[in-house]
Structures are given as structure tokens and as C-alpha cells.
């Protein structure tokens, strides 16, 4: 199997009972043991996979939105996770109104489940909040890998202004913001239709060409 943005190993296996499963595995790093430093890129993917396994284990309330977890183990310096094969599940081939609505509803439901609950033990980490705008402003007119269309005096001036406003917005935006989402709006039915019904109707239309 291929895909994703990580060098972790992904294999589709058929078990003795005929069930198809996915094996995700990573070898412990010798260069950066135990590290998950996303800034420098020094990442031990075995540690990352351990964190993923822990996340599945400590968030059972979100199981409906997770693949089924079948087993995990460590052997000879490798960390491995055996999980449900979703190759027969539908993918988001394009963001239609129905698919956007379906994910919007389920994402809100996922957030609602965690409303007013404490972080489970073992779920560490916090959102990367660095002085992005200070660094951008300090670099001056360095393009790096930004689009070449940005390399104009007018755009650099706009970027300077954006840095000034951006610092304040970031500070205000993450201070005293209610975490929550109200669960009781999640069974919302619009004109007798739910996002799930809309999605199924779209699938039928795609398959048959009929509305």
C-alpha cells in the first residue's frame, strides 16, 4: 500500500479466517530515539505509532469515527498496529454539498462527545503555537518556497500588515474561547432530511444517474 505523508510501513493482510486487515508498522529510530520534533523533522516513527495506538485506546468515546482496532504489539524494535481494512468503505472522491455536510455533522458530533471532558491520561501535547508572524516579519523579503507571485513590493507591504494584525488575532483567538459544542443540535433535521440521508441519496444518484 502507498500513500500518506509518513515513512511507516502499511501492508494489507488476509488472516487465516479470511478477514482482510491492515498492518501499520514502524521501526524504532536509531538517529532520533523517542523524538517527535515536527519542527526539525527529527521523528522516531515508532514513537509516533505508539502515540497513535495510545490515542485509539484512550478515546473509546470516539470509536464510531475510528477504524476498528484489532491488536497492537512490539517485536524486535518494531511497533505494529493491526486495524480494520477500510478498502471497501467509500472515499471522499470530491467535496460535494452532501459530503461536506456529512463530515461537518460528524466532526461536530465528534467534538460534542468530548465536550466538557478532561483530556484522557496519556494524550499529551498541545497545539504548536510559535511566534510565526514575528519570524516572518524578521525575515524581510525572503521568498523561500512561497509563490513567486508574492515577490512584489505591494505584497511584501501587505504581508507586513498581515503580520501585525495576525499576532493580535492569534493572541485574542486562543484566549477565553469556549471549547464546547452543544450536543443537542447534532440530530438536526432540515426539511425532513439529515446529512446521512442526503449522502445516501447522492450515492444512489451517482450509481444510477437518477435523482
Partner 1 sequence: MDVRSDNLFVRDSHMVLIDWANPLWCSVTRESVYWALGVEAEGGEPAAQAHARYVAYAQPIPAHAIRGALARQAGYFVDRLQAATLSNRLTAYFLTMLPPTVRWFAQALELPAPPAM
Query: By CB under 8 A, what part of segment 174-203 binds partner 1?
Result: 174, 177-182, 185-186, 188, 196, 199-200
Q: What nine digits make up the cell of 35?
A: 523524538
Q: Which is nearer to partner 1, 77 or 97 (CB)?
A: 97
Which residue among 1, 13, 14, 143 contacts partner 1 (CB under 8 A)?
Answer: 143
How many whole angstroms separate alpha carbon 96 and alpha carbon 195?
Answer: 12
* Residue 103 in contact with partner 1, rule: CB under 8 A: yes
Nearer to partner 1, 118 or 208 (CB): 118
Cα–Cα dist 14/147, whole Å: 45
Q: Is 67 in the site for partner 1 (CB under 8 A)?
A: yes
Enumerate residues 6+ apart whose C-beta is below 8 A from 208. Answer: none
Q: Residue from 16, 76, 127, 210 that binds partner 1 (CB under 8 A)?
A: 127
Question: How far apart, in whole angstroms, are the C-alpha atoms of residue 203 and residue 211?
Answer: 10
Q: How far is the CB of 53 from partner 1 (least distance, A)?
A: 9
Q: Is 161 in the site for partner 1 (CB under 8 A)?
A: yes
CA dist 189 and 192 (Å) reads 6
Amino acid at each position: 500500500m502507498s500513500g500518506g505523508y509518513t515513512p511507516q510501513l502499511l501492508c494489507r493482510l488476509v488472516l487465516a479466517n479470511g478477514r482482510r486487515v491492515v498492518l501499520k508498522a514502524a521501526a524504532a529510530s536509531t538517529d532520533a530515539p523517542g523524538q517527535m520534533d515536527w519542527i526539525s523533522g527529527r521523528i522516531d516513527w515508532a514513537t509516533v505509532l505508539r502515540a497513535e495506538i495510545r490515542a485509539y485506546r484512550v478515546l473509546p468515546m470516539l470509536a464510531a469515527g475510528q477504524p476498528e482496532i484489532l491488536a497492537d504489539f512490539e517485536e524486535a524494535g518494531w511497533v505494529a498496529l493491526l486495524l480494520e481494512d477500510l478498502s471497501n468503505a467509500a472515499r471522499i472522491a470530491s467535496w460535494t454539498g452532501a459530503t461536506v455536510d456529512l463530515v461537518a455533522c460528524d466532526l461536530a458530533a465528534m467534538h460534542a462527545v468530548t465536550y466538557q471532558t478532561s483530556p484522557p491520561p496519556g494524550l499529551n501535547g498541545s497545539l504548536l503555537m510559535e511566534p510565526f508572524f514575528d519570524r516572518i516579519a524578521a525575515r524581510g523579503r525572503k521568498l523561500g518556497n512561497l509563490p513567486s507571485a508574492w515577490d512584489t513590493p505591494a505584497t511584501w507591504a501587505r504581508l507586513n500588515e498581515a503580520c501585525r494584525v495576525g499576532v493580535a488575532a492569534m493572541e485574542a483567538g486562543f484566549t477565553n474561547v469556549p471549547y464546547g459544542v452543544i450536543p443537542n443540535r447534532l440530530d438536526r433535521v432540515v426539511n425532513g432530511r439529515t446529512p446521512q440521508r442526503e449522502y445516501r441519496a447522492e450515492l444512489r444518484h451517482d450509481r444510477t444517474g437518477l435523482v
